[in-house]
Structure 1
């Protein structure tokens, strides 16, 4: 049952998944960084081959005075995911995103 659900919802092992976690003590900085990152990812994903979800508060929205916002990126193949992440991060950096706040994990073990 779980495997059918994962296939229907496009979760691993049927897609490659990246979790992008934006962590910052200041909520406005975290929110603006997440927004800028999403815009950079959208520009990198002009062909819409990847599915981008978020930004949204992480399932645990705050830990040790750090606000946490999450963006998920799903792709059918690893190369496409890698390209969208690289270009999206470069776009975000060009648009003054706080790159120190962005943490990227490909094939995350969990999304907490």
Structure 2
């Protein structure tokens, strides 16, 4: 499927750029008559996973900026982009999660059975 997506992107769009993860970004050659703007899309490097698009390109894809933000201009407080890890062994699991032992702190909203 990725082959056909890349082929379609090359045929119908013009390449705008590529990010540090290998994702390639395109803009359609024809203006969309309904929206009165060009369609923007991405061909990801490893499968179609939208969580692998960094924030610099996300705002360009959603027409928030006219040009993608510079990737080399990172501030010290900015973290490196991490794709969604849900469903993998690296997913976040809090202390009371079943995979972490299943013991959690008691809370005030815990259910207590009614006894007459």
Fold-level match, TM-score > 0.5?
no
Structure having the larger proportion of residues in strand = 1
What's the TM-score once normalised by structure 2's chain length?
0.30
What's the TM-score once normalised by structure 1's chain length?
0.31
Q: Which has the larger radius of gyration?
A: 2
